Amino acid sequence: MDALSETLRVVRLVGAIFINARFSAPWCYQSPRADSVAPLLEPGAERVVIFHLITAGECFVELGHASPVHLVAGDVVLFPQGHAHRMTSQPGLPPATGGRLDQVLARRPRQLAYGGGGAITRLVCGYLACDARLADMLLAGLPPLVRVNVRESSAGPWLEASVRYALSEAKSPRPGGEGVLAKLAEVLFIEVLRLYMNEQTEGRTGWLVGLGDRIVGTALNALHRCPAQAWTLEDLARTAGTSRSVLAERFQQMVGSSPMQYLTQWRMLLAANLLRRSNAPLARIAEDVGYQTDTAFSRAFRREFGAPPAAWRRNQLRRQPAG
């Protein structure tokens, strides 16, 4: 299994599409910071990433003092750091005022239709909630705004058609419509990451960019494929077909840590996932993530999470909702 697939297997993604909008120019829609709406979107979520898919027409997105970005049908924009932003038919318009956000989000997906009667833009708004530490790794190095066009992907037409179908099903009396939308939100998010990873732009860094690099990507895939192996920098460099110095420098530049530091962090994230989702004994988990003794595993886990594994697991169980 490649590193992206393995990471997505470990990341607990919870997705939803919460707004289905038909806007007519002129219009402007204000999206607040993700952390301010996270309790309404996904109570208890550690991290929420908001995205928009333009299904028809065109518009602009305004983010802080940056120049407005023009969007066309098929574009998806997501905001890895959760910045507030505006979606608008033309730059500089004041945002519309509406009802309280909790009332707007009480029914999902919420149908929105407003504007001045001009050119039509259709878009859907969704989010992905996930564990904060894994999100930090997965989204490391991404800019405040990521834009890709899913119509450039072989999966794009299927995704757009599926979203339209699921939105119509969400309005029908048949059960399961919201569940289908949730899964499509996850698939759309993953496709955005894959498209971004394959873009060739000079000077980019981050975990996803590292995956696309011949040397760093080979090393990452090896570490994710066999995390319990007793890796050395020399072994990893041999696997990646390069020297230790080249691998160390390139890995640090793209991923932001040394290969061995990254391996420790990934092992701890795997261990946390096993502690949270299984009843496996600590000795078994320690062995599965590459530690020969409980003591060494506990020491490494405490450095990363601030508590020994057993206490951390108990705390996670207390935080889980009853029933």
pLDDT at position 3: 87
State the CB neighbour count (10 A cutoff) for residue 295. 10
59-65 CB contacts, 8 Å cutoff, 24+ apart: 59/23, 59/87, 59/88, 59/89, 59/121, 59/123, 60/87, 60/88, 60/89, 60/90, 60/91, 61/85, 61/86, 61/87, 61/88, 61/145, 62/86, 62/88, 62/91, 63/144, 63/145, 64/144
Res 321: pLDDT? 56
Q: Encode pLDDT of 72-122 as tens digits.
A: 999 999 999 999 999 999 999 999 877 666 666 666 678 889 899 999 999
What is the model's pLDDT at position 149? 92
pLDDT at 172 over 70: no
pLDDT digits (tens, 9 = 90+) for 192-239: 888 888 776 667 788 988 988 999 999 999 999 999 999 999 999 999
pLDDT at 323: 45
* Residue 171 banded pLDDT, cuts 50, 70, 90: low
105 or 149: which carries more pLDDT confidence? Answer: 149
The bridge status of strand 47-56 relative to strand 58-62 is: unpaired
> Could you tell me the domains of the chain?
3-198 (2.60.120), 213-319 (1.10.10.60)
Report pLDDT for 287.
Answer: 95
Which of these, 173, 200, 169, lies nearest to 182 by C-alpha position?
A: 169
